[in-house]
Amino acid sequence: MSKYIWLLDAGHGGMKDGKYTTAPAKMHVFEDGLTFYEGVNNRAIVSKLVGLLDNAGIEYALVFDPQLDTPLKDRVSIANRLYKEQKLPVYLSIHSDAMPDGAHGKGSGFSVFTSKGQTRSDRVAEVFCKTYQSELPQFKFRKDLADGDTDKEENFYVLRKTHGPALLVENLFFDNRKEAEFLLSEVGQGKIALTLFKSIQATENKKPI
């Protein structure tokens, strides 16, 4: 029996009629033609995570469209409606990162974000930060220790506007060739999904948020 309901948000759009619905944003084409679609990869990771949650009997809900790039306002509205109707939901937004034009390939690593200030989200984020570092030590973990904990803080809409605990994970940099190849691989997607699953399990086993 779950303590929480995990609201899974695969960032950005997927594929519809063979076309990436968030194009030309949130994608990267390498010199040899290898193309990374962030929203598609986010969905692949969520799909694997869902299988693990199903097997463990952990409750979850999806707050994104399989194909389209659901507006942020709509994603948050689903989360906030569930917050009113059900036991405590935890919003988990799954992404990959990229550097701006002129700096492609120079970013590296994982990050976990919460909203600004100390909130219930920080307690969940700290569990995720520890799990990422233990499960994926071959990659850099991007920390911000300025406020005494490991997660980074930003005013992202889904973190700011969600009523319950909310965090956003950036799984590596998709414009970094080595990291893109890991993200595109079955092994890489499976390992990230397992890391998220172990983070969720550890949160479920802790004192209530």
- CA distance linking residue 111 with residue 29, whole number of Å: 23
Q: Are 75 and 158 in contact (CB under 8 A)?
A: yes
User: Where residue 181 falls among pLDDT bands split at 50, 70, 90?
Assistant: very high
Query: What is the three-class DSSP state of 78?
Result: helix
**pTM for this prediction:** 0.95
How high is the pLDDT of residue 129? 97
CATH number at residue 93: 3.40.630.40
Average pLDDT over residues 90-99: 97
Does 101 reside within a domain? yes
How high is the pLDDT of residue 92? 98
Does 143 reside within a domain? yes
For residue 178, give the amino acid letter: K
For residue 54, give the amino acid letter: D
How high is the pLDDT of residue 137? 97
User: Where residue 87 falls among pLDDT bands split at 50, 70, 90?
Assistant: low
Per-residue model confidence as pLDDT tens digits over 112-164: 999 999 899 999 999 999 999 999 999 999 998 888 889 999 999 999 999 99
* Residue closest to 200 by CA, chosen among 63, 66, 72, 50: 50
Domain count, the chain: 1
Does 104 reside within a domain? yes
How many other CB atoms are there within 10 angstroms of residue 119's CB atom?
17
- Percent over 90 (pLDDT), the chain: 86
Domain containing 71 equals 5-204
Does 100 reside within a domain? yes
Tokens 């619905």, residue located: 21
Does 209 reside within a domain? no
Does 47 reside within a domain? yes
Q: Are 3 and 87 in contact (CB under 8 A)?
A: yes
* Residue closest to 64 by CA, chosen among 6, 135, 11: 11
